[in-house]
Amino acid sequence: MLTRCRRLLKTIGYRAVSRIIDYKITRYTRYKTLDYGFIRYGLLALLAGLTIVACSSGPFGSTVSLDKTSETTSETISARTSKESLIVLWDKGYVTEEDEAIQKVVDDWNAQSDLQVELSFYNSGEIAPRTLRFSQAGQSPDILFAAKSVYPVSDWDGKLADVSDVVSPLLESYTEVALRSAKVYGSEKAGDRYYAVPLNQSTTHIYYWKDLLQEAGYRPADIPAEWDDFWAFWQTVQDNLAPAYPGLRSIGLPYSKNASDTYHIFEHVLSAYNVTLVDAQGKLLVDDPTVKAGIVDCLNWYLQFYKAGYAPSEAVRWLDPENNRNFLNRAVVMTPNPTMSIPAAVRNDDAIYLEQLGTVPFPNKPDGAPLPHFVSIRQAVVFADAPNVRGAKDFLTYLTQPAVLSDFLKASYGRYIPPSIGHIEADLFWQDAADPHVSAVVETVMAGQTQPFQNVYNPAYGMVMEQNVWGQAVYDVAMNNMSAEEAATAAIAQIKSIFQSQL
């Protein structure tokens, strides 16, 4: 049965499964008949799909080994005794086209190189810890590409090869955020060296339904650019739609301790209110009373929409895919998301993609200054003790050629964009003004309205993100009867403990 479900997912994809289930439900509503065989297989396929389609890869939720790939990787690594092949471990893609795209890169490389690449896929939650175990056993792969590959950084200290010679040819083209991220260990320790090769980037933008906005009596041009006006606007949208859609919520913010989206978005709120936890030298600032006061204010601000009923009550239980699902099922009018997975889900439907779906940046800060968008950089690393470090670097140099990398990223329907200005300028796909979603994200990046997460200043902050400290704090206020003051105190204590453990 599981094999059949996997085949179903690979053949038609998560979105099609969802649509078929919707169709069966409609048939039941009209004709009171159920296809129990389909429901059994479809629900299993859907559950498997949820593991694949998390909108922000993270450690939260289940991990599932992928058929024989995960089971045989350790045998492949331990059996290799020469430098005739490269072992490459790769994050399982959001859609099958992503996996097919990197497989095509590998096939093209293998066709022209004596050094053959052996590619294996893992789900995001298991790939980094498995790789670490291989490395600790003296069986390091050559290359790892994983969204969470280097948390905690202390586990990888001394295990990553210097890949500055791969990064250097693109030094003038990579964005500042990409270069900071590629240092991995922080600028103070890494100096001029780079220990990761940036392969893509994503920003958090806000997605909304234009047609629902129109039903509420507004046009996209009516959406305010100022902070307080922006959020009050969406509350008014819900109020206007309430007679026709009493269950509809206008603000799809996550309030869950298990969704990485929660910390992504709460980091933007902290930045909007100029709350800085780590300075440019990597020093932790949480002992400053003004920092704690700022965290308290941000928690109170964030929780107001949940308490007032403008965010879904179930948002405290969301996992990463569920703000996507609630939005695409039109249970919410707008939602922020850390990648372009929402536009990617409807890209093949022009009516929805071009006419109904809208994308906007975050509004200006409360003080009127522009709010830079946090950028996530996904990178590949090479292991210093791998049998073929030089060959691994050669493969990554091949992959980062503009045409090769752009074709690979386009296969994910533009969910991620290239990490360098040169890559963006080299392909008209990223410059298409007629594409309302990709162009919005590219415009933000090209204008320099971005900022790195604070782990680039001190890698210990990566564990703050990994442990979802902000998700826990938000959840504690929403569900555990904590005050914002108590939740902030607990969060600060956890952050200090994390930083101490990473010394």
Q: List pLDDT tens digits, range 18-74.
A: 433 333 333 333 323 333 333 333 443 343 343 333 343 332 222 333 333 444 455
Q: What is the per-residue pLDDT across 279-328, written as a single tens digit (0 to 9) for each?
A: 988 999 999 999 999 999 999 999 999 999 999 999 999 998 999 999 99
With a cut of 80, say whether residue 182 has pLDDT above it. yes
Q: What is the per-residue pLDDT across 120-168, written as a single tens digit (0 to 9) for each?
A: 999 877 888 888 888 888 889 999 998 776 667 777 888 999 999 999 9
Q: What is the per-residue pLDDT across 93-129, written as a single tens digit (0 to 9) for each?
A: 877 888 999 999 999 999 999 999 999 999 877 888 8
More confident call, 315 vs 431: 315
Average pLDDT, the chain: 85
The token duo for 146 is 């994983």
Compute the CA torsion angle 241, 242, 246, 252 (nearest 10 deg): 70
The pTM (predicted TM-score) of the whole model is: 0.83
With a cut of 90, say whether residue 498 has pLDDT above it. yes
Alpha-carbon separation of residue 90 from 72, 149, 377 (angstroms): 14, 10, 15
In whole angstroms, give the CA distance from residue 426 to residue 497.
45
Provide the 3-class DSSP secondary structure of residue 265. helix
Greatest CA separation found in the chain?
Answer: 70
Structure confidence at residue 150 (pLDDT): 64
| Residue 402, number of CB atoms within 10 A of its CB | 17
In whole angstroms, give the CA distance from residue 37 to residue 456.
50
More confident call, 15 vs 220: 220
The token duo for 381 is 């690393």
More confident call, 263 vs 9: 263
Q: What is the per-residue pLDDT across 214-260, written as a single tens digit (0 to 9) for each?
A: 999 999 999 999 999 999 999 999 999 999 999 999 999 999 999 99
The token duo for 91 is 């994050």
Structure confidence at residue 503 (pLDDT): 72
Rg (alpha carbons) of the chain, rounded to whole number: 23
Task: Find where tokens 């920003």 sit.
Answer: 203
The DSSP line for 11-44 is: HHHHHHHHHHHHHHHHHHHHH----HHHHHHHHH
Local structure of residue 174 (DSSP, 8 states): B
